[in-house]
Amino acid sequence: MIRKVDMYQCVCDGCGKSHVDDFNGYVAWSDETMASEAAYESGWTNIEGKDYCPDCYEYDEETDEYKPKSKEENI
């Protein structure tokens, strides 16, 4: 039997890419907390309530904080 289940992924608010745990082969998790923690352990970050993959944020030395890259920088 095959049954539909709800799962969770962390999706980048900058580019729309979904986090994939390449080491373990996971593409979705059973709850939101596990999905976000797995992404953050892989270098993702949360800035002002939005999640960003490593390609979509940068460190700002002037403010000593991480900030999202502009849309033009992600192209």
> Dihedral of the CA atoms 32, 20, 54, 70 (nearest 10)?
-80
Q: What pTM was computed for the model?
A: 0.84
10 pLDDT exceeds 70?
A: yes
Q: pLDDT by residue (tens digit) across 21-59? A: 988 889 999 999 999 999 999 999 999 999 999 999 999
Tell me the helix, strand and coil percentages in the chain, rounded to 5.
Answer: 15, 25, 55
Q: Where are the domains of the chain?
A: 1-75
